[in-house]
Amino acid sequence: MIEQPDSKSLSEKSAAIEVSQLTMKYGSSLIQQNLNFSVQKGDVFVIMGGSGCGKSTLLKHMIGLYQPAAGTIAYDGRDYFSATDIQQLKMRKRWGVTYQSGALFSAMTLAENVSLPLTQYTRMKPAEMADLVRYKLALVGLAGFEDYYPSEISGGMAKRAGLARAMALDPEVLFFDEPSAGLDPLSAKRLDDLILQLSQSLGVTIVIVTHELESIFAIGSNGVFLDAQTKTQLDTGAPSYMLNHSAQPLVRDFLSRGQGHQQRSGEICR
């Protein structure tokens, strides 16, 4: 049995997020059930799966937007959905979320967007806040764009600005919903690099929804694979490990873009 390359002993890492027996429903239709996985501190955790299998829905459960039909999602050992409003707010303050389209507030400039969480939760002076906003925007490569409106910048820039807003409060966990969707390969790569650098230098735990194989292998250190047919997770582990060693043929197929399947069927023929 080959050891998983990225698995370190539990004493070294502790679970930042623990999902157990999670069932998600939309109205009466079942999306996913019996999800069990944990995200360790410092992980870049990838939620994988085919189109329409509920990846984004899972993310929205993890950030507390949707209520699970059953099961728990615990942060540092505390279940989010059974916590009181104030506890939930405290937990939420430690996360940053970037959305598929950036979800910037269109009536505000980039600087106002990034400073919104700061005005909401800190007692910083306007000048200090302006400095911090400038720094956060510079960090995502948007120095000098403080006074632009979201409609005046490109899609890739909007996503990076969304990332700057998500990082405004120095979160411990960053969630990304399809960060590279709709970006050209170079911009997508730059965003991947940015995410990786942030996770390494800031020690942020990152949860990311994506089906881009390049991103998955470039940045993912751990992950879960959801399946639309069986409506549950097929496998968890590091993507590079699952590529060759997953017990599920579908996972290997997905990660190798169907190449593994052809090889195997070739083997069977021989």
Partner 1 sequence: MGLVKSVTGIFTGFSFVYMLVALFYQYFFVRYGHLDSMVSPGFKITRNVSPEYLSASLSGHWDRYQTLPDTEQIFSELESENVQTFEVLTDPSFRWDSQFSAWLLKLQRYCDRSKIKLMLSGLPEEAHTLHQLATAVPLQTSSNKTAFFSINLFQSIIKGLLQWLEDFVLFLGEITLGILRIFRLRSDARRGDFFQFLHQAGPAALPIVTLLSFLVGMILAYLGTVQLRQFGAEVYVADLVGVGMVREMGALMTAIIMAGRTGAAYAAQLGTMQVNEEVDALTTLGIKTVDYLVLPRMLALVVAMPLLTLYSDILGMLGGGVVALSMDITFTQYVHQLSGAFAMSDVMTGLFKSLVFALLISFAGCQAGLACGRSSAAVGKATTTAVVTAIVYLVVADAGLNILYFQLGI
Footprint of partner 1 (CB under 8 A)? 60, 63-65, 89, 92-93, 95, 97, 99-101, 103-106, 116-117, 120-121, 162, 165
- Closer Cβ to partner 1, 210 or 221, answer by number: 210
- Closer Cβ to partner 1, 83 or 213, answer by number: 83
The residues near 186 (Cβ < 8 Å, ≥ 6 apart) are: none
Q: Which of 57, 46, 49, 50 is nearest to 223 (CA)?
A: 46
3-state DSSP call for residue 222?
strand
Q: How far apart are CA 74 and CA 70, in angstroms?
A: 13
3-state DSSP call for residue 211?
coil
- Closer Cβ to partner 1, 2 or 86, answer by number: 86
Q: What are phi and psi of 133, to 5 degrees?
A: -60, -45
- Closer Cβ to partner 1, 105 or 135, answer by number: 105
- Closer Cβ to partner 1, 18 or 178, answer by number: 178
Q: Which of 119, 126, 191 is nearest to 155 (CA)?
A: 191
Structure token digits, residue 32: 């996913």
Angle at CA of residue 65, ends 178 and 173, nearest 5° = 60
**Least CB distance to partner 1 at residue 242 (A):** 27
